[in-house]
Amino acid sequence: MRRIVVGAHYGLRDWLAQRITAVIMALYTLLVGAMLLKNAPFTYPAWKELFAQGWMRVATLLFAASLAWHAWVGVRDILMDYIKPDGLRLTLQVMTVLLLAAYVGWTIQILWR
Amino acid sequence: MASASAKKIRPKYLSLPALLFEIRLPVPGWVSILHRISGALLFFPFVAWLLYLLDSSLSSESAFEHMKGYLALPLVKLGALVFIWAYCHHFCAGIRYLLLDLDLGVDLQTARLTSWIVIVAGLALTAIFGARLW
């Protein structure tokens, strides 16, 4: 197979990772969504208390990490479909990685302030 | 660096009017392109926006109250509605793809039915959560 720098990893890994991270995010969505609907912690003390709990911080970080990996595979697929010039595609891929890394860093900063 | 694009020239019929009025996507095709569009929107700008909201709302009591006022603005509510639709559609369509990967619902009739279910469920969930927001 002819492999190209701005292509994908030519294996099962990305495909599988995208699905596993999707399941992790779906579970987080159902759990946290149900909790928000049930307890409605929409006052400042309750909101602060929710994100002060260890499990919530770790679960949210897991969500953010899953999102970064999931979105990397997805956005790269989009770029490979529509952006044909190699240089431009590589630039956009690098920007995607940087933005996703920034999202994770920002999440950590918010959770462990 | 090797070129990523195929060099072979193939005939194409993809003018804008053709895309808009002549090429008809089947329902599973609509689910697919909407999955892609909603995913792209979630990647940017919605994750950034959500992190901004979370950051501000957790920073202080006055910032929290300020965020409540911000979320009450009509234009912000409209943005939130688009976000809710993108999330719900991406969620429902994603579950459909996971099932398809497990070889469930692959035959044409079922695939069309589940496509309609995904589109309607996405809109219905948007209406339900949107109503709570308003």
Q: Does residue A95 contact residue A79 with C-beta atoms inside 8 Å?
A: no
How far apart are the two ends of chain B, measured CA to CA in Å?
A: 53
Confidence of residue B4 (pLDDT cuts 50, 70, 90): low
Burial A37-56, CB ≥16 within 10 A → b, else e: eeeeeeebeebbebbeeeeb
Please give the Cα distance from A29 to A59 (Å, whole number).
10
Tokens 């709302």 -> residue: B57
Residue B16 in any domain: the answer is: no
CATH of the domain at B63: 1.20.1300.10
Confidence (pLDDT) at B20: 79
Range of the domain at B40: 26-133
Q: Is the pLDDT of residue B21 over 90?
A: no
Segments of chain A with pLDDT less than 50:
none
pTM: 0.89
Confidence (pLDDT) at B64: 96
Residue B17 in any domain: the answer is: no
Confidence (pLDDT) at A72: 97
When pLDDT is averaged across residues B101-115 and rounded to a whole number, the result is: 96
Q: Where are the domains of chain A?
A: 12-111
Burial B98-108, CB ≥16 within 10 A → b, else e: eeeeeeebeee
Is there a contact between B65 and A44 if contact means CB atoms under 8 Å apart? yes
Q: At what angle do helices B61-71 and A44-52 cross, to 10 degrees?
A: 110
Residue B64 in any domain: the answer is: yes
Using CA atoms, how far residue B109 sits from B90, B106, B121, in Å, is 22, 8, 18
Please give the Cα distance from A97 to A102 (Å, whole number).
8
Set of chain B residues whose Cβ sits within 8 Å of the Cβ of A31? none
Residue B4 in any domain: the answer is: no
Model pLDDT for residues B61-103, shown as the tens digit of each residue:
999 999 999 999 999 999 999 999 999 999 999 999 999 999 9
Residues 6+ apart with CB under 8 A from A32: A56, A59
Cα–chain-centroid distance for residue B103? 24
Please give the Cα distance from A75 to A97 (Å, whole number).
10
Q: Does residue B31 contact residue B96 with C-beta atoms inside 8 Å?
A: yes
Is there a contact between B1 and A51 if contact means CB atoms under 8 Å apart? no
ipTM of this predicted structure: 0.90
Residue B58 in any domain: the answer is: yes
Confidence of residue B127 (pLDDT cuts 50, 70, 90): very high
Confidence of residue B14 (pLDDT cuts 50, 70, 90): confident
Residue B93 in any domain: the answer is: yes
Confidence (pLDDT) at B57: 96
Number of domains in chain B: 1
Tokens 């692959």 -> residue: B106
CATH class of the domain comprising A12-111:
mainly alpha
CA distance B100 to chain A (A): 12
Set of chain A residues whose Cβ sits within 8 Å of the Cβ of B59? 113
Confidence (pLDDT) at B24: 84
Confidence (pLDDT) at B54: 97
Tokens 């991406």 -> residue: B90
Is there a contact between B98 and A71 if contact means CB atoms under 8 Å apart? no
The beta-carbon neighbor of B61 closest among A23, A44, A113 is A44
CA distance A40 to chain B (A): 12
Closest CA to B121 of B31, B42, B40: B31
